[in-house]
Amino acid sequence: MIGLRPPPDVSVGPPLISAFESEDLDMAYSSNQKAIGGKLIRSAVVLLCATFLASCSYGPPQIRAYITNARAKPDSHWIAVAVEYQHYQEPTGINAFPNGGIPKYLSEKVKIYLCNVETLEVRRLVSATPPDIVKLGWQPWVLGWVGESLYFQISGQKGTSLNETKTNKVVYRIDGDGQDSEVANTPDNLVFQQDTGPLPKGSFVRISNRYDTIAVRTERDASPRTLFKIDINQGELVAIQESNKPDTGDGL
């Protein structure tokens, strides 16, 4: 039996695809395109988030510490020093927009020291976090002595924005044994050695402090000596062990 052959001008090809099969292929292609598009979108979102988070970062931790004031105990060679200490990170990227941004504070400490200007002894009496009522714009300040008790205060505000009319103050007493406690009011009979006026008789200390150093003059000195400084690496007040040179700044 002779088989039928197609005419010479008719090519033999694959079977024709039905309409249903074509629709299935279109749907599969569309689903594949959507899957690829979804992956690209997710990748773009992840990249965008990573870029945003990287831009909302902070720099390495830094220490800032400076002397707010110092006062001398009358008829002695002892001085008390108040230091404001902050451990913080500077904002970078978007966090620094538009005016430099707000630092991230890791810790803030009020530090009170008692120093002897003859022996160069330095005692840290207090290292404490300022209370919430004065947490904003806070500053420690040595007030003076009543007997053997030393008084200091922390001033500042509560809340998130400064208001010049609502500054609060918290007063503390440090007893001779080193114990500190909050007191209701500042005593009226506080005493401290004045840094101006006629030189007193007997033992005295006159102080000239900058934000990072303390120079003193006693009854034994013809000119001031810079004896204490802030250690910028530790944020602590330390003695300058070999300091017999006259101070070159403002006189006492």
Which range (29-38, 45-54, 67-76, 170-179) has the least confidence? 45-54
Which range (93-97, 180-184, 211-215, 244-248) has the least confidence? 244-248
Q: Which pLDDT band, with edges at 50, 70 and 90, does 252 fall under?
A: very low
Q: 106-144: per-residue pLDDT in tens?
A: 999 999 999 999 999 999 999 999 999 999 999 999 999
Residue ranges covered by each domain of the chain: 60-239
pLDDT at 84: 98
pLDDT at 146: 97
Q: Which pLDDT band, with edges at 50, 70 and 90, does 246 fall under?
A: very low
Question: Distance between the two ends of the chain, CA-based, in angstroms?
Answer: 132
Closest CA to 69 of 59, 57, 81, 61: 81
Q: Are 114 and 120 in contact (CB under 8 A)?
A: no
Burial (CB count <10 Å: 0-12, 13-18, 19+), residue 188: exposed
pLDDT at 55 over 60: no
Q: 2-11: per-residue pLDDT in tens?
A: 444 555 554 5
How would you classify the pairing of strands 78-91 and 225-231?
unpaired
Is pLDDT larger for residue 50 or for residue 97?
A: 97
The stretches of 104-145 forming alpha helices (DSSP H) are none
Please give the DSSP secondary-structure letter assigned to residue 189: T
pLDDT at 149 over 90: yes
Q: 57-105: per-residue pLDDT in tens?
A: 788 999 999 999 999 999 999 999 999 999 989 887 665 566 566 788 8
pLDDT at 235 over 80: yes
Report the amino acid identity of residue 94. Answer: I
Q: 152-171: per-residue pLDDT in tens?
A: 999 999 877 776 668 899 99
In the numeric block, which tokens belong to residue 20? 């249903």
Q: Which residues lie closer than 8 Å to 38 by C-beta, 6 or more apart?
A: none
Q: 179-205: per-residue pLDDT in tens?
A: 999 999 999 999 999 998 898 889 999
pLDDT at 219: 94
50 vs 10: CA distance, rounded Å: 61
